[in-house]
Amino acid sequence: MKKFLKLALLSSLFVGVLSGVAACGKGEADDKAESNELSVAAWAYDANPEFKAMVEAFEKENEGVKIKIVDIAADQYEDKVTTMLSAGDSTDVLGIKGVGSYVNYATKGQLLDLSEEAEAIENPENFKGNLDGYKLEGKYYALPFRKDIYMLFYNKKLFDDNKTPYPENLTWEEYEELAEKLTTEKDGEKIYGTYHHIWYPILLCTAANQTDSSLLDGEYGFAKEYLDRWIRMQDAGVTMDYSSIKTASVTYASQFETEKTAMMPMGSFYLGKLLNAAKENRTTVEWGITSMPQNEKGAVSTYGGPSGFAVNKGAKNPELAKKFVSFCAGEKGAKAVAAIGMTPAYQSEDVMNVLYTLDGMPQDEESKKALNPDKNGWEMLPDPKAAEINAVINEEYDLIMVEDSPVKKGIDALNSRAKEVLEEDN
């Protein structure tokens, strides 16, 4: 009996040891699996190839790492992320779409401080000031992977048909005259001289940067001449009117790629989309790029907003998340972004040569000038009031452009409302 009990006890201990070893092994395996998994929130993943390019480059560089994409519709993205963070979501990396929402997340303590990661990136001079788009009270809570440049796209064939030289370093007056000249009709369908999409920054941020002004000062008189021109051009029928664009939910890509417009001011993010559309035979448009029109010939001033990544303070895998964000902001991530035809935030000579030599990219000197403006300012720098000011501008710009509010009256209303926001206590 004693012998039986002894054997039973030894057997029990042996099973227990095995179970412990198995449990320990399973725990180590789980920890390893978790350390190699990363969740990344992005907007319209399939429509924005830069996300896939960076993900694939990072996974290739880090064997065994698996990235899970949290894909959110572009027009719902910022509201959705705000809700996620408020609910304590643990998605590791968050794509940063707009400066206003970035400031909100950062000031609520929902993002990790990435200042050390920013300082650790080699040759920071290659950012050419592009880190400033996320500098908030001396710290960085996100790092940029892209910095857009707004420029003028044009349809070569429509210029050729009109026996008109391709545009170079236009003034705004020349641009308006050219749009009138290129407005024609083909097979009973109107072809506009140019197309002005409904995003207010295309006009107002260009105006602010070309007049050394700011959208955060509460004074918008600098925009009057620009707004007058936009209204005058839509009234003349040389560009589709704002109300029609909104009512029909017209996309800028559909207008340009189906040759319904000869020119179009748009961001450099469109370069990659055009190259991809041509590769997939979705468009045969022959296109070129030049600088945004200026008040005077000579130095080129334009603007562009950053796109970047932040690390959720509640991230499951914060160290791997920081590594991913740093990779995307640095040279290797920049080459992945440039390789699909987009302008990265990190712009070393090697990186930009990747962009310049892409198949289908215009190779002329004028195109390179458009990609290297003398000044590429900001859409809106990080500020606690940025989101509120953005909302006010959106509303008043809409009223001006549908011509419910005359330009001067609209600017007065904008000045008044913006000052109220700026004077409010934080």
SS (H, E, C) 224-283: HHHHHHHHHHHHCCCCCCHHHHHHHCCCHHHHHHCCCECEEEEECHHHHHHHHHHHCCCC
**Is residue 310 within 8 Å of 142, Cβ to Cβ?**
yes
* CA nearest neighbour of 196 among 123, 261, 149: 261
* Percentage of the chain lying above the pLDDT 90 cut: 89
Residue type, 395: E
* CATH class of the domain whose range is 37-148+305-371: alpha beta
Quote the pLDDT of residue 419: 96
Average pLDDT, the chain: 92
Tens digits of per-residue pLDDT, 224-235? Answer: 999 999 999 999
Quote the pLDDT of residue 6: 45
Tens digits of per-residue pLDDT, 394-416? Answer: 999 999 999 999 999 999 999 99
Q: What is the CATH number of domain 150-303+385-423?
A: 3.40.190.10
Report residue 136 CA to chain centroid gap: 18
Residue 299: DSSP 8-state: S
Tens digits of per-residue pLDDT, 32-86? Answer: 446 899 999 999 999 899 999 999 999 999 999 999 999 999 999 999 999 999 9
Residues of the chain with CATH 3.40.190.10: 37-148+305-371, 150-303+385-423
**Is residue 374 within 8 Å of 300, Cβ to Cβ?**
yes
**Prediction pTM value:** 0.88
- 13, burial (CB in 10 Å: exposed 0-12, middle 13-18, buried 19+): exposed
109-118 as b/e, with b when 16 or more CB fall inside 10 Å? ebbbebeebb
Query: Does the pLDDT of residue 17 top 50, yes or no?
Result: no
Query: Does the pLDDT of residue 360 top 50, yes or no?
Result: yes
